[in-house]
A and B are shown apart, each in its own frame.
Chain A
């Protein structure tokens, strides 16, 4: 009996060592069309170079570092590291320290815990429209990893927030306008 239990335990432990790869890892999720619409805009421009140049300028405006450009494929990748703590969180921690100090407490250092940072990666792909020669489909994808102050990963996610993409495209339109004049 004891032997059988030990064997079961061993099998369970060894089973735990086997890595599982999600079954549907490379299947299209149902939300694909919706996400694609959020991430894509069609823009008119004289050439692909104009859109790429305007894009690089926008990335610089948004304080990204351009990491890689592959002109023949219209691919630009960029990244930036920023503070991931919200202003509200920081203000809250500041007042907590203030109250702690007024109350005569020791070690009032809650603000030092607000040290999360996020690594944002962005890809922008410019595809010439297959139907019209002066139009380009621009698709942006964004991901981020949030680390806490001891470098543990807190969040690992794709950014799907429609407003963020809209802001980037608004900036891109402005940049394109400056680049090539009124379109």
Chain B
């Protein structure tokens, strides 16, 4: 009887040990690096960096975001939207060679990263319009 009790205790300990997993830190994120970059990046011609950043800010405001931080030198903008859920976005604007500007966007909804290509495509559709208006000097 005591042996059966010992075995049951051992089994109980093993089961409990199985529960004691630590939550993975998930620092590096999911998805492949190259694929993620492709989904999140768009390149533009002719506009200068500052005007591109202003177009990004206008786009974010149109989409209901409040700008948390903007740095013209580093080309980064972070913004938050509070509406039913919390969405945070970081946009980086980088000057490439031959007068090209690269815009990279990444978004998170609550604790989850947005990995859906269509959602980023939606953002770039709005940004394309803002860039067009800025290029053609329309307020």
Chain B residue numbers with a CB within 8 Å of A125 are: 57-58, 61, 67
- Indicate whether A73 sits within 8 Å of B57 (C-beta atoms), given known contacts A28-B63, A130-B138: yes
Main DSSP-derived SS at the B contact region: mixed
Which size bracket describes the interface of A in this complex? 35 or more
Known: A73-B57, A122-B66. A26 touches B80 (CB 8 A): no
Q: Is B14 an interface residue (CB 8 A)?
A: no
**Docked CA distance A28–B81 (Å):** 13
Choose, from B17-25, B31-39, B95-103, B107-115, the stretch at the interface: B107-115
Within 8 Å CB of B7, what residues of A? Answer: none
Chain B proximity mask over A60-88: 1 for CB below 8 Å, otherwise 0: 00000000101011110100000000000
Asked if A68 meets B69 with Cβ closer than 8 Å, knowing A21-B114, A73-B53, A130-B138, the reply is: yes
State whether B119 touches A26 (Cβ < 8 A): yes
Tell me if B47 is interfacial: C-beta within 8 Å of chain A: no
B87 at the interface (CB under 8 A from A): yes
Q: Which residues of B contact A42 (CB under 8 A)?
A: 139
Q: Are A26 and B126 in contact (CB under 8 A)?
A: yes
Check A77–B67 contact: CB distance below 8 A: yes
Min CB–CB distance A74 → chain B (angstroms): 8
Pick the residue among A23, A27, A123, A131 that contacts B66 (CB under 8 A): A123
CB of A24, distance to nearest CB on chain B (Å): 7
Whether A36 contacts B82 in the complex (CB less than 8 A), given A73-B50, A75-B70, comes out as: no
Contacting pair B137 A131 (CB below 8 A): yes
Kindly list chain B residues whose C-beta atoms are within 8 Å of the C-beta of A70.
69-72
| Stretch from A6-14, A49-57, A139-147 that touches the partner | A139-147
Task: Give the residue of A22, A68, A129, A158 whose beta carbon is less than 8 angstroms from that of B64.
Answer: A158
Residues of B within 8 A of A27 (CB): 122, 126
Q: Say yes or no: is A175 at the interface (Cβ < 8 Å to chain B).
A: no
How far is the CB of A136 from the nearest CB of chain B, in Å?
Answer: 10
Whether A26 pairs with B53 at a CB distance below 8 angstroms is no
A77 pairs with B68, CB closer than 8 A: yes
For the complex, is A93 an interface residue (Cβ under 8 Å from B)? no
The answer, yes or no, to whether B123 is at the interface (CB within 8 Å) is yes
Contact call B61/A158, Cβ cutoff below 8 A: no
The 10 closest A-B pairs by CB, nearest first: A72-B72, A130-B137, A70-B70, A26-B122, A26-B123, A19-B112, A123-B67, A75-B70, A156-B82, A123-B66
User: What are 23 A-to-B residue pairs whose CB atoms are below 8 Å?
Assistant: A19-B110, A21-B109, A21-B116, A24-B122, A25-B119, A27-B126, A72-B50, A73-B57, A73-B72, A77-B66, A77-B67, A123-B61, A123-B66, A125-B61, A130-B137, A130-B138, A141-B61, A141-B64, A145-B82, A156-B82, A156-B84, A156-B86, A157-B83
